[in-house]
Amino acid sequence: MSLALPYLQMGLQQMQIELSAEQQQKLLDYVALLLKWNSTYNLTALRQEDQMLSHHVLDSLTLLPYLDGVAQLIDVGSGGGMPGIPTAICRPDIQITLLDSNSKKTSFLSQAVIELGLSNVKVITGRVEAVEGIEFDAITSRAFAELRDFVTLTSQLLRVDGRWLAMKGVHPYEEIAQLPEDVHVAQVDKLTVPSLEAERHMVIIQKGASA
């Protein structure tokens, strides 16, 4: 018997996240897809189910408390679908776009969306600069670029009153100092991910100079 479900449930309990049995199963199915396709598409350096659950699924779910009022979200440089796919499973009410320039990875993402039945997810293959004609309430990324590049390259995609939700490791003091003057950091929160020793921070950035 797989220990994945109790491992996931313990992590969700520690993070105070309540999900239905169907949502929990979809998160496990997503990890199974990562394991299945990883050797072909090079989606993650991790190879163990428990590591994928902590480093990818639970880590992605630290985004959930920051999605109040968000109807449209884009995950830039989504790679293997983190944080976009776990978020989409937990928040079917949010329309989520997964963007990546690597066609192998977006092939996996498209397949995962079909197999997991995620009707709230759209996959785009291409560079972020080429995306036009749509604005989002929030833009997130887990490993796309330094903050300055992240903000500059995606600025045209963010609503005036929207926010960037940058998922970072250690506190990015230097990156924050190099941000353009027409944006400001609203807050930086230290995050705790069960079974993950590494530091994690959420950097929330908004348009407009700081008051």
End-to-end Cα separation, the chain, in angstroms: 55
Check whether 70 is labelled as a binding-site residue. no
Check whether 52 is labelled as a binding-site residue. no
pLDDT at 129: 85
* pLDDT tier for residue 1 given thresholds of 50, 70 and 90: very low
For helices 4-14 and 21-41, the axis angle rounded to 10 degrees is 110
Check whether 129 is labelled as a binding-site residue. yes
Check whether 79 is labelled as a binding-site residue. no
pLDDT digits over 54-98, tens only? 888 999 999 999 999 999 999 999 999 999 999 999 999 999 999
Task: Return the amino acid letter for 166.
Answer: A
Task: Return the amino acid letter for 52.
Answer: M
Check whether 142 is labelled as a binding-site residue. yes
Tell me the average pLDDT of the chain: 93
129 or 26, greater pLDDT? 26
Q: Which two tokens stand for residue 79?
A: 């790679």
Those residues whose C-beta lies under 8 Å from the C-beta of residue 134, and which sit 6 or more positions away, are 72, 97, 157
pLDDT digits over 150-197, tens only? 999 999 999 999 999 999 999 999 999 999 999 999 999 999 999 888
To the nearest whole percent, how much of the chain has pLDDT over 70? 96
Displacement of CA 184 from its chain's centroid (Å): 21
What CATH code is assigned to 4-207? Answer: 3.40.50.150
pLDDT at 50: 76
Those residues whose C-beta lies under 8 Å from the C-beta of residue 32, and which sit 6 or more positions away, are none
For the chain, which residues make up each domain, given as ranges?
4-207
Q: Which two tokens stand for residue 157?
A: 């995609």
